[in-house]
Amino acid sequence: MPKAVFQQIYHDLKKKIEDGSYPYQSFLPSEAELTQAYDCSRSSVRRALSVLATDGYVQSQQGKGVRVIRNPALIDASGYNGLETFNELAARCGFEPATHVLLFEEVEADDALAEITGFASGSKLTHIMRARSADGVVISTDESFYLSDEVPGLAPEIVANSVYAYLEGTLGMKIGTSKRTITIDAATAYDEQVMDLDGFNAVGVMRSHTFDADGVMIEYTESRQRPGFFSYHETVIRPSAQA
C-alpha cells in the first residue's frame, strides 16, 4: 500500500466536498464503507478524516458519523486562503488582474536579511518587487525573495505573468505549504506612492514563508494590501476540555 495513501483519500474526499458530491451538512460514508471503497486500512481513513476536520471540511459527531461542515456560501463571502496565485484569485473573484514588475535583482543574504526572510546568511536570492492591480486599481504590492538555486531561469517577464505557473509548469516543482503572519500596519510613504489607498492610512500585511514538497523553503514574501480588498478566513478548532 502506498506510504501516503491517507493523503490520496484526503484529496479525493476534499475534491468531492468542494464539487458538491458530498454537500454541506450531509454525512460522509461510514469508516467501513470508506475502507472498502479505497481498499485501505481503517487507520488511513481515520487519518484522512482527521486532516479534513483540521482543515474545517468535516466534523465527527458521536453516534452519527462524519458531517460535512464546509459551507460554500460562507467560504465565498469570507474569502479563500489556500495557496493560490494572483491570477487564480482574479479568476475566482472576477476581476481583471495585472502585475507590474518594479524591481528584479540578484542579492546575497546578509545577517539582517537572513533574519527577516529565514534564509541562511550567504544565500543567493532573487529579489522581486511587484505591484498588483485589479481592474486597473493598484491594490497591493509584493516584495519577494526566492532561493536562486531552486528557481533557475526566473526572469522579469515570468514574474509579470505568474511565478508559480513557471515553478510548477516549467520546472515541475511541487509547492507544499506556506506559513503566514498577518498584521495591520500603518501605511508607509511608499505604500501611498505605489498603491491606490483611497484615503486609507493602514494596510493589511501578510508575511509568508513558502516551502516545496520536500520541505525546502523557496520563497519569502511580504504582501501589503489595501483595506477593502484584503480579507482573511481561517478555521480553528477548540481543544477538548482537560479534566
Q: What is the pTM of this model?
A: 0.69
pLDDT in tens, 110-160: 999 999 999 999 999 999 999 999 999 999 999 999 999 999 999 999 999
- pLDDT confidence tier of residue 107, bands split at 50, 70 and 90: very high
Name the percent of the chain lying above pLDDT 70. 88
pLDDT reading at 239 higher than 80 = no
pLDDT band at 208 (very low <50, low <70, confident <90, very high): very high
Residue 166 — pLDDT band, cuts 50, 70, 90? very high
Mean of the pLDDT values across residues 55-74? 83
DSSP string, the chain: --TTHHHHHHHHHHHHHHTTSS-TT-BPPPHHHHHHHHTS-HHHHHHHHHHHHHTTSEEEETTTEEEE---HHHHHHH---SS--HHHHHHHHT--EEEEEEEEEEEE--HHHHHHH-PPTT-EEEEEEEEEEETTEEEEEEEEEEEGGGSTT--HHHHHH-HHHIIIIIS---EEEEEEEEEEEEPPHHHHHHS--TT--EEEEEEEEEEETTS-EEEEEEEEE-TTT--------PPPPP-
The per-residue pLDDT for range 68-105, each reduced to its tens digit, is 988 776 655 444 455 678 888 888 778 899 999 999 99
The pLDDT-based confidence of 242 (bands split at 50, 70, 90) is low
Which of 13 and 177 is assigned the larger pLDDT?
13
Mean pLDDT of the chain: 88
